[in-house]
């Protein structure tokens, strides 16, 4: 299989007072990476945490892949602090930059600071706007809810974006985030997503290990059909 299926729980839905314990539990139950939602109260109408919290978590959890989903208005501002905090992949939003010609500069700065590059799209943003930037990134994140809050309903229509990306970029890592769980994973997997962010669907499950395994199996099964 050309691409790996990866499951990344969103810790936004976890008990943030016990972030290390909750994160270790997710890792023990089979999580491939941790998806860390960083919100500034401006780009999205909510606040979460910043690089100091990420750095504290990294000091406790040494070897797990950290992706920061930067829902912030000035993604360039936080590249160096997040690199210093031990982040592995820095995913910023296309919509956060007023001057689109600056996207290559942001991507370059992320790489210069030793991190992988992700670019995200809100639901109302057409997918073709990032076509020229895809060679610069490691991953495209398709939001399947409006970013800013957990627990929203999954937007089925976003799977058209995922399918377009998979049809045109068969080796691209495509991530989906928002309302993803056992009831919606089939749509994501069949459209071609291989990085799966799930918050409530995993965090609140009575058996996290079983849910993570179910999500991964769905993606792997779809990819076997896609590449057979």
pLDDT in single tens digits along all 228 residues of the chain: 468 999 999 998 889 899 999 999 999 999 999 999 999 999 999 999 999 999 999 999 999 999 999 999 999 999 999 999 999 999 999 999 977 669 999 999 999 999 999 999 999 999 999 999 999 999 999 999 999 866 678 999 999 999 999 999 999 999 999 999 999 999 999 999 999 999 999 999 999 999 999 999 999 999 887 776
The single residue of 37, 63, 88, 138 carrying the catalytic annotation is 37
**Per the domain annotation, does 90 fall within a domain?**
yes
The residue range of the domain holding 78 is: 6-226
Number of H helices, E strands in the chain: 8, 8
**Catalytic residue status for 63:** no
The single residue of 63, 84, 105, 177 carrying the catalytic annotation is 177
Task: State how far the Cα of 6 lies from the Cα of 198, in Å rounded to an integer.
Answer: 11
Task: State how far the Cα of 64 lies from the Cα of 197, in Å rounded to an integer.
Answer: 15
Q: Facing residues of 33 across strands?
A: 65
**Catalytic residue status for 167:** no
**Per the domain annotation, does 1 fall within a domain?**
no
Task: State how far the Cα of 175 lies from the Cα of 118, in Å rounded to an integer.
Answer: 9
**Per the domain annotation, does 209 fall within a domain?**
yes
Residue 200 sits in a domain of what CATH number?
3.20.20.70
**Per the domain annotation, does 137 fall within a domain?**
yes
Tell me the pTM.
Answer: 0.96
Task: State how far the Cα of 105 lies from the Cα of 109, in Å rounded to an integer.
Answer: 6
**Per the domain annotation, does 66 fall within a domain?**
yes
**Domain count along the chain:** 1
- Let me know the angle formed at the C-alpha of 130 by 147 and 69, rounded to the nearest 5 degrees: 35
């Amino acid at each position: 299989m050309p691409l790996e299926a990866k499951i990344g729980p969103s810790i936004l839905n976890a008990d943030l007072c016990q972030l290390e314990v909750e994160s270790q539990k997710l890792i023990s139950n089979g999580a491939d990476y941790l998806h860390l939602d960083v919100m500034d109260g401006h780009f999205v109408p909510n606040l979460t945490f910043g690089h100091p919290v990420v750095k504290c978590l990294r000091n406790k959890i040494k070897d797990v892949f950290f992706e920061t989903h930067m829902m912030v208005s000035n993604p360039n501002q936080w590249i160096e602090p997040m690199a210093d905090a031990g982040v592995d992949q820095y995913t910023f939003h296309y919509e956060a930059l007023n001057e689109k010609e600056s996207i290559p500069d942001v991507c370059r700065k992320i790489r210069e600071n030793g991190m992988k590059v992700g670019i995200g799209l809100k639901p109302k943003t057409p997918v073709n706007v990032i076509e020229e930037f895809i060679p610069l990134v490691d991953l495209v994140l398709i939001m399947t809810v409006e970013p800013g809050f957990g627990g929203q309903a999954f937007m089925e229509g976003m799977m058209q974006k995922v399918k377009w990306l998979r049809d045109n970029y068969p080796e691209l890592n495509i991530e989906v985030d928002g309302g993803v769980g056992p009831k919606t994973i089939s749509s994501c997997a069949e459209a071609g997503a291989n990085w799966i962010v799930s918050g409530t669907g995993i965090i609140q499950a009575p058996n996290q290990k079983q849910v993570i395994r179910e999500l991964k199996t769905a993606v792997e099964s779809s990819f076997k059909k896609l590449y057979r």
